[in-house]
Amino acid sequence: MSFDVFHGVLFGVLALAIVAGALAVVLMPRITQSALFMAFTFLCVAGMFVLLGAETMAAFQVLIYVGAITVLILYGVMFTPQRTGHALFQTQTPWAAIFVAGLTLPAVVFAFSFRDAPLIREFGGDLVPLGTSLFGEYAFAFEIASVLLLAAMVGAIVLVKRDED
């Protein structure tokens, strides 16, 4: 068979939702709405991971992005003021829009130039190869990443508590 209709329809719906959600993040006037649309976009990207057969990464996406990062950013929204009736965009917005629009079309055309390849494994998930790589070949990088998280945590605490000493 040439093209699985179910996969195609699912891809179309998810792609439309992702693009609409990202546009809503950029264009919504209230920051809380932007944050919620960001969570929606992350969820749709997780659906795209499932469509690609990477179920473990979809689970991580939901746990880390939809869970942790969205909550963190919502805290940031709550701690900062929301001024309504204030200019939403910066002064260089027209130039930025022209710049980005000019780059998008060549990038999309370039994206279709990749030779298509079949899936490596049909089903069965990506957990076993991912774990084998992560804790075998990349075990040292994994430990360094934990040091990075520790440094980021200490840095965040120091930045916010700076003027109490």
Partner 1 sequence: MTVSVVPLGWFIALSAVLFFIACAGVLMRRNAVVILMCVELMLNAANLAFIAFSRRYGAADERGSVFVVFIFVIAAAEVAVGLAIVLAAYKNRPTVDVDEVRVLKG
Nearer to partner 1, 85 or 90 (CB): 90
CB atoms near residue 134 (< 10 Å): 13
Q: Which of residues 73-92 bind partner 1 (CB under 8 A)?
A: 73, 75-77, 79-81, 86-92
Q: Which of residues 115-134 bind partner 1 (CB under 8 A)?
A: 115-122, 126, 129-130, 132-134
Q: Least distance in Å: CB of 165 to partner 1?
A: 14
Q: Which of 13, 124, 143, 155 binds partner 1 (CB under 8 A)?
A: 155
Say whether residue 5 binds partner 1 (CB under 8 A). Answer: no
Cβ–Cβ < 8 Å for 29, 84: yes
Say whether residue 50 binds partner 1 (CB under 8 A). Answer: no
| Torsion on CA atoms 21, 26, 27, 33, rounded to nearest 10 | 60
CA-to-CA distance for 42 and 67, rounded, in angstroms?
Answer: 10
Nearer to partner 1, 38 or 165 (CB): 38
Say whether residue 164 binds partner 1 (CB under 8 A). Answer: no
Closest alpha carbon to 126 in 49, 19, 53: 53
Say whether residue 31 binds partner 1 (CB under 8 A). Answer: yes
Say whether residue 67 binds partner 1 (CB under 8 A). Answer: no
CB atoms near residue 46 (< 10 Å): 22
Angle, helix 5-27 to helix 31-51, in steps of 10 degrees: 160
Nearer to partner 1, 85 or 87 (CB): 87
